[in-house]
A and B are shown apart, each in its own frame.
Chain A
């Protein structure tokens, strides 16, 4: 026997030769352990992300082995670092290019709120241009914190219903940002 742990099966009905559960949960389970993150790394937090991906902390353990540098195939947009006003439209463009379902994680103080850079050139938090699911505090956050944020995203993915993206509430949120 190996000591490799596998994820727990979602709640369901089990009998001889069959296992029944909700489709939402089965899909959520699969999705949450194969998230393809798009690292949108602009500054210091990007270096901590390198450490998170590196051999010591190894984000791959959470199913995020494959970094998707193309937004078209990415599930999770990880925004790491200061987003200036010059960069804002680029970030929005990248978000728009991602296919649903998509999640966004703001890593670090700058992406969350502008951080220490309360200046004329810096966007005061990326939630001014795109909706954000998880904020990770820190300047920069430690790799453990980034992993913690990633696990929070996984939790979201697992518990989300398949139809959430079609709900009026979600549509309203996107409309607030002017996204169709």
Chain B
């Protein structure tokens, strides 16, 4: 990466210019600031500044009961908030030793895989925009709307879904939701195929992305990378396969890996993951049909809020409702680390509980934060235009970066 001539300060012909890229630069898709030393079009060195939307999630979490932390997790990676929601719910369920029914697990899998698709749609679509092709983005966005409609059918919200509860879902999927999921599975594949046809062998796109920002597996592991960008370097680390949660062990899917970790490989890995996600959703739909259709939460009245009618008419339910809302449920004094495969990588929740109504300490292992720190070192010697598409392909989400 660094084999171009670097001029020194006392060379009279040239001197470096400083370029302040961000924090509101349109090409950075978020609030990232990089102060770059430029030698013409080449980046000599760079310093990343982050924290422009630091919202103190971890501090807030210490002051909120467990169920009120779900809305916070929404706003971590807002492109795929259901994964964050479910990751948090599963962390608490692990702490409380709640055994989930299979049907709930499969419902969660469907939602999480839809979220992964919607996240990858944005990432790959925007990568296309940054290399000069708006069309793919517009094609794909249409189908992200379909995913949002499915969310709406299930929880009433589009983006920050707040979907599910600790112990399951707040309501069952209705028939329209299932119909919409099935329709999505029919309508999306041709579009994705078309999208791949537009890009995969497109001369301009390939020239712009192939060999750009190639990363070795050793470097990626040393920087604790995870998710599609780590898999693009050839490491098949996927939390879904390695430490299956939410019954992922029941599903048949492949973990796509790349070869040299460049932007093109990352693009291909993400596309392939969308295909795999659709495979998983299809299997989950078939599995759900074999389960009793009225189960949508675990039978844990001490943690799962009872329906409102019962609260008004049933003494027991009223007591449970009061206890849950007031946070008077006994919780174990323990530490738990749970991770899920977020759209950007391993999303971990480190929860230290002291038996109170809110966590003693909650730390999010945020993949965007950890993935992004290699950005400035790897930009050295890169052309500015390459650095921009490198940033899009890292898919750093500002909310997750800054917490």
Q: Tell me if chain B binds chain A.
A: yes
Q: Show the binding face of A for B, using Cβ within 8 Å.
A: 40-44, 46-48, 50-51, 54-56, 67, 69, 81-84, 86-87, 90, 94, 116-117, 119-122, 139-140, 142
At the interface, yes or no: B308 with Cβ under 8 Å from chain A?
no
Once the chains are docked, how many angstroms separate the CA of A46 from the CA of B398? 11
Identify the interface centre among A43, A84, A140: most chain B CB within 10 Å of its CB.
A43
A48 touching B399 by the CB < 8 A rule?
Answer: no
B78 touching A43 by the CB < 8 A rule?
Answer: yes
B53 touching A84 by the CB < 8 A rule?
Answer: yes
B55 touching A82 by the CB < 8 A rule?
Answer: yes
Q: Using Cβ atoms and an 8 Å threshold, which residues of chain B touch A44?
A: 74-75, 78, 159-160, 399
Contacting B159 at CB < 8 Å: which of A67, A86, A120, A140?
A140
B158 touching A48 by the CB < 8 A rule?
Answer: yes
Given A42-B31, A43-B78, is A117 in contact with B56 using a C-beta cutoff of 8 Å? yes
Per-residue interface assignment for chain B, residues 391 to 403, with 1 indicating a CB less than 8 Å from any chain A CB and 0 otherwise: 0000000110010
B142 touching A54 by the CB < 8 A rule?
Answer: yes
How far does the Cβ of A148 sit from chain B's closest Cβ, in whole Å?
Answer: 16
Contacting A86 at CB < 8 Å: which of B51, B59, B144?
B51
How far does the Cβ of B205 sit from chain A's closest Cβ, in whole Å?
Answer: 21
At the interface, yes or no: B24 with Cβ under 8 Å from chain A?
yes
Identify the interface centre among B59, B145, B159, B160: most chain A CB within 10 Å of its CB.
B159
A42 touching B54 by the CB < 8 A rule?
Answer: no
Contacting A43 at CB < 8 Å: which of B23, B59, B75, B138?
B75
Given A84-B55, A86-B54, is A43 in contact with B142 using a C-beta cutoff of 8 Å? no
**Total CB contacts across the A-B interface at under 8 A:** 89
Q: Given contacts A48-B159, A122-B56, list 14 more A-B pairs with CB under 8 A.
A: A40-B24, A44-B74, A47-B79, A51-B144, A51-B148, A82-B55, A86-B54, A87-B31, A87-B52, A90-B23, A120-B56, A120-B59, A121-B56, A140-B160
B24 touching A47 by the CB < 8 A rule?
Answer: no
Contacting B160 at CB < 8 Å: which of A42, A82, A139?
A139
B54 touching A55 by the CB < 8 A rule?
Answer: no
Q: Using Cβ atoms and an 8 Å threshold, which residues of chain B touch A139?
A: 160
B142 touching A55 by the CB < 8 A rule?
Answer: yes
How far does the Cβ of B375 sit from chain A's closest Cβ, in whole Å?
Answer: 18
Once the chains are docked, how many angstroms separate the CA of A48 from the CA of B141? 11
- Interface size for B (C-beta < 8 A) is 33
Contacting A84 at CB < 8 Å: which of B54, B59, B72, B144?
B54
How far does the Cβ of B145 sit from chain A's closest Cβ, in whole Å?
Answer: 5
At the interface, yes or no: B65 with Cβ under 8 Å from chain A?
no
How far does the Cβ of B46 sit from chain A's closest Cβ, in whole Å?
Answer: 19
Given A48-B158, A50-B141, is A119 in contact with B398 using a C-beta cutoff of 8 Å? no
Given A42-B30, A47-B78, is A117 in contact with B52 using a C-beta cutoff of 8 Å? no
Per-residue interface assignment for chain B, residues 50 to 84, with 1 indicating a CB less than 8 Å from any chain A CB and 0 otherwise: 01111110011000000000011011001100000
Contacting B60 at CB < 8 Å: which of A43, A47, A55, A117?
A117
Within 8 A of A (CB), among B130-155: 137-138, 141-142, 144-145, 148
Can you pick out 10 interface pairs between chain A and chain B where the beta carbons lie within 8 Å of each other? A42-B31, A43-B398, A55-B138, A56-B141, A83-B53, A84-B54, A90-B24, A94-B24, A120-B59, A142-B158
How far does the Cβ of B138 sit from chain A's closest Cβ, in whole Å?
Answer: 5
